[in-house]
Amino acid sequence: MRLLKDNGLTIALMALFAFCILGQWISGWYVELEDARRHAQPELTLFAYAVSPQFQSSVFENWESEFLQMAAYVLLTAFLVQRGSAESKDPDAPPRDNDFDQQAHEDGAPSILRKGSPWRALYARSLGLTLILLFVASFAMHWINSAHASAQEALEHGETPKTVLAYLGDAQLWFESFQNWQSEFLSTAVLVVLSIFLRQPGSPESKPVAAPNSQTGD
């Protein structure tokens, strides 16, 4: 029970992720079957569809936008503020991380901070860097699989398929990306602004219910 209590948020989110990606996989397979029947083409098995460029492209298309949103959010909130928002640091508060050398020797500090300045500098930016790398990896997988899916479709219509590199300049790839990116930035901006005026008891994404609208941070 202690495991569930201490890790309930991650467990719940990963369970929801598993449910949703399973739903995407199965429902996408049915869509693929209907399309194959309509064009009198061979039908993919459920597991063949899982590794198909059509499914892989759709998965990584969404992952890339989520990691971009998180990377941008982590980096932008390090430098920019929104007064009154629970999602922003307080512009009037003193700097939190202004002396890594001293903080490295505080009780409970991660041991990597005591391995020297280069390691401290890297670890201090590890969250943003990791999210950027996850975005780049997801974008690359979206690009490659989308290029393969486009090539398959071109061959089916008797057209010359584009190379993977040439597909990087294709409008379809950027349409797929921008349609997700814009929604991620909009939803984040909406949350930042709404948390100035609205509340949710018990949530760290909200200020205390009785906090004034001018209070910044949680």
Segment among 3-12, 53-62, 101-110, 194-203 with least mean pLDDT: 101-110
CB-CB contact of 32 with 150 (8 Å): no
For the chain, the structural domain boundaries read 1-51, 52-95+126-218
One-letter amino acid at 99 equals D
- Give 133's Cβ-side CA count (13 Å radius): 6
pLDDT of residue 50: 96
Check whether 198 has a pLDDT greater than 80: yes
Average predicted confidence (pLDDT) for the chain: 93
pLDDT tens per residue across span 18-32: 999 999 999 999 999
- Model confidence at 33, pLDDT cuts 50, 70, 90, reads very high
Residue 201: Cβ within 10 Å count: 7
Q: What are phi and psi of 82, to 5 degrees?
A: -135, 105
Report yes or no on whether pTM surpasses 0.75: yes
d(CA 70, CA 153): 33
Check whether 218 has a pLDDT greater than 90: no
Cα-Cα-Cα-Cα torsion 134, 137, 138, 144, nearest 10 degrees, comes to 180
Which segments of 2-99 does DSSP mark as H helices, in order?
Answer: 2-38, 46-50, 53-79
pLDDT tens per residue across span 172-195: 999 999 999 999 999 999 999 999
Mean pLDDT of 52-66: 96
d(CA 148, CA 163): 9
